[in-house]
Amino acid sequence: MTQDRLLLLHLLCFLHFADNSQRPDQGKEYDQLWTLRTFFDTLNKAYAKFYNPLEHLAADDVILKFNGRVIIRQYIPMKRKRSSVKIYKLFDESGYTYDMRVYLSKDTHSVTDDMTATHATRRHLTSRVEGLGHKIFMYSFFSFPRLFDDLDRHKISSCETVQPNRKDMPCDFGPKQLKLERGT
């Protein structure tokens, strides 16, 4: 081990963002990211305070390769980055991050009969741009009619690719009913 690596490991042992004596109880509302929560909240507040996003925004998940020992790491065998940390981000067309949320596990606290976990995640990301006339682009994993209606109610336009087999899609919306040619 080189001297620089040893110094880095020594510094990382003492890098803390939270007071360990203030550790919350591991009950029903336990936050797995409590040690870094203040850091992420500070970043999100700074994003909103110092920058007004452009009209066109994108909401996507970013996968960061990480092989260390952390509870939020995911193992996705079909991906190139098998051991990773997933972060949901809202960013504008210049690439500036406007809001982010670390994926811990399925968000069961926000799930209701009308709102799925993915719907709750997207609502959280878009809450700062409500009523400002932004246009949000997302990919098909997050597309379903209730989310479109909810974003439209908050004056946020959205554009997404859709999958015809998603829940609550109209019956006449499918490849057999529309008879589309390849590439249209």
CA distances from residue 44 to 50, 97, 146 in whole angstroms, order as listed:
10, 9, 26
Asked if residue 88 lies in contact with residue 104, where contact means CB atoms within 8 angstroms, the answer is no
Phi-psi region of 135 (alpha: psi -120 to 50; beta: other; left: phi over 0): beta
Greater model confidence, 110 or 84: 84
**Number of other residues whose CB lies within 10 A of the CB of residue 75:** 8
Structural domain boundaries of the chain?
Answer: 32-167
Q: Give dist(CA 53, CA 23) in Å, integer.
A: 35
pTM of the model: 0.75
Q: How confident is the model at residue 80 (pLDDT cuts 50, 70, 90)?
A: confident
pLDDT of 134 strictly over 60: yes
pLDDT at 85: 83
For residue range 103-116, list pLDDT tens digits in order: 876 655 555 666 67
- For residues 119 and 3, which has the higher predicted lDDT (pLDDT)? 3
CATH architecture of 32-167: Alpha-Beta Complex (3.90)
In the block, residue with structure tokens 């007004």: 52
Rounded mean pLDDT of the chain? 79
Q: Closest Cα to residue 139, out of 115, 122, 123?
A: 122
Helix (H) or strand (E) holding 67: none
Q: Rg of the chain's alpha carbons, rounded to an integer?
A: 20
Binned at pLDDT 50, 70 and 90, residue 48 comes out as confident
Say how many C-beta atoms besides its own lie within 10 A of residue 119's C-beta.
20
d(CA 32, CA 73): 11
Confidence of residue 154 (pLDDT cuts 50, 70, 90): confident
